[in-house]
Chains A and B, each alone.
Chain A
Amino acid sequence: MIRPVDLVADIGEILVPEAHIQAKVAELGARISADYTDRQLTLVSVLKGSLPFMADLMRAITIPVRIDLMEVSSYGGTATESSGLVRILKDLSASIEREDVLIVEDIVDTGLTLNYLIRYLRGKNPATLRICTLLDKPARRLVDIPIDYVGFTIPDQFVVGYGLDYGEVYRNLRFVGVLKPEVYSEPA
Chain B
Amino acid sequence: MTNPAPPPTSGSSVPADARPAFAHASEAEMARILDFYAVRWVYEPDTFPILWNLDGDVVESFSPDFWLPDLGLYLEMTTLRQRLVRKKNRKLRRLRELYPDVRVKLFYARDFRALMLKYGKLALVDALSGTPGQVVGRRRPALPARVDLATLEVASIDAAAIVAPVDGAPIAVLSVEGGNSLEASPCRPVNRPPTPRRRPTRRPRP
Contact = CB atoms under 8 A, between A and B. Distances in A.
A88 B36 contact: no
Interface in A143-161: 143-144, 156, 158
Interface stretch (A6-14, A18-26, A52-60, A112-120): A112-120
Interface centre among A81, A85, A121, A123 (most CB of B within 10 A): A85
Q: Is the interface of B mostly helix, strand, loop or mixed?
A: mixed
A85 B117 CA distance: 19
Interface in B102-136: 105, 107, 110-111, 114-122
Q: Is the interface of A mostly helix, strand, loop or mixed?
A: loop
Nearest to A141: B105
B119 A75 contact: yes
A84 B32 contact: yes
Interface stretch (A31-39, A89-97, A127-135): A89-97
Interface residues of A, number: 36
Contacts of A81: 36
Nearest to A96: B2
A140 B37 contact: no
A36 to B, nearest CB: 21
B117 A184 contact: yes
Nearest to A158: B117
B7 A88 contact: yes
Contact of A91 (B1, B32, B110, B117): B1
A172 interface: no
Interface residues of B, number: 35
Contact of A120 (B7, B68, B71, B121): B7
A69 to B, nearest CB: 12
B2 A92 contact: yes
Contacts of A158: 114, 117-118
Interface of B: 1-8, 10, 16, 32-39, 68, 71, 73, 75, 105, 107, 110-111, 114-122
Given A84-B32, A86-B37, A142-B39, 15 more contacts: A75-B32, A76-B116, A76-B119, A84-B10, A88-B4, A91-B1, A93-B2, A112-B34, A116-B8, A119-B8, A123-B5, A142-B68, A142-B73, A144-B73, A167-B120
19 contacts: A74-B119, A84-B16, A85-B38, A86-B37, A91-B1, A94-B2, A95-B3, A115-B39, A116-B8, A116-B37, A123-B5, A124-B5, A140-B111, A140-B115, A142-B105, A156-B110, A156-B114, A158-B118, A167-B120
Interface of A: 74-77, 81, 84-86, 88, 91-96, 109-110, 112-113, 115-116, 119-121, 123-124, 139-140, 142-144, 156, 158, 167, 184-185
